[in-house]
């Protein structure tokens, strides 16, 4: 069975986490360029799953619209909220305490050479995790994410956002699942550039604070199931 190494960075500044996964991402690419297909990277591991959370920060994808940030940079500074232009896909989103952020660093040549399959697989990990709390997570056709009440235009709300980057079939960036997130931060942006749908969290749906470590353990187990991989 394929194996991946779990790296739990805990609460970490966005820039530090970005630098960490970028170094790992680049290492994997260099290994592919200079070694045979049967060789492992220098750290001896082909795949990684990074989990963490960030202090309050807005990030926007490489093709995102900065007009979807509804505050001036000065106000952001006053509120001590960071803002980063990222090299991932997608538009603007929020990261903060109470989220579980996942950055899988995978070589898709060991899985399936299909970005759409990869994105749907990430969504499936979250859908299975939500089901363990009695929450029905759903997809909306042609709109990446995991949603609640996806088929009701008036009440559809996103609970998990996704944005990735790939090069030579190596992945980075990933997902952000709202667990106990302060949803007021989303009022400061047009989340993911989608103005006609809401945002929610597990806490919001269940009406009580949730054990974030338990959610994390469910994510790990469901990641193993969906990607048919052992995480250690």
C-alpha dihedral sign at 92, 95, 99, 102: positive
3-state secondary structure of 123: helix
Tokens of 39: 């060789």
Cα 217 from Cα 224, distance rounded (Å): 11
What is each CA distance from 44 to 5, 52, 172, 192, in whole angstroms? 10, 22, 18, 36
Please say whether the beta carbons of 162 and 91 come within 8 A: no
Residue-wise DSSP of 55-96? SSEEEE-TT--GGGB-S-HHHHHHTT-EEEE-SSSS-EEEE-
Please say whether the beta carbons of 172 and 105 come within 8 A: yes
Residue 192 is a catalytic residue: yes
Active-site pick, 52, 160, 192, 232:
192
Residues labelled as active-site residues: 192
């Amino acid at each position: 069975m394929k194996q991946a190494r779990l790296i739990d960075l805990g609460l970490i500044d966005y820039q530090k986490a970005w630098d960490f996964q970028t170094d790992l991402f680049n290492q994997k690419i260099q290994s592919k360029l200079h070694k045979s297909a049967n060789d492992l990277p220098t750290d001896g591991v082909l795949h990684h799953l990074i989990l963490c959370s960030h202090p309050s920060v807005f990030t926007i994808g490489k093709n995102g619209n900065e007009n979807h940030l509804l505050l001036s940079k000065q106000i952001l500074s006053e509120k001590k909220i960071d803002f980063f232009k990222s090299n991932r896909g997608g538009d603007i989103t929020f990261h903060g305490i109470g989220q579980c952020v996942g950055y899988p660093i995978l070589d898709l040549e060991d899985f399936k050479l299909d970005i759409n399959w990869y994105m749907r697989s990430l969504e499936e990990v979250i859908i299975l995790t939500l089901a363990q709390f009695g929450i029905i997570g759903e997809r909306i056709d042609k709109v990446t994410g995991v949603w609640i009440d996806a088929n009701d235009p008036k009440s559809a709300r996103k609970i998990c956002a996704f944005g990735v980057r790939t090069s030579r079939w190596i992945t980075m960036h990933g997902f952000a699942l709202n667990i106990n997130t302060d949803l007021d931060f989303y009022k400061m942006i047009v989340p993911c550039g989608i103005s006609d749908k809401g945002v929610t969290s597990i806490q919001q749906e269940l009406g009580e604070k949730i054990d974030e470590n338990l959610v994390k353990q469910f994510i790990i187990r469901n990641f193993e199931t969906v990607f048919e991989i052992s995480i250690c």
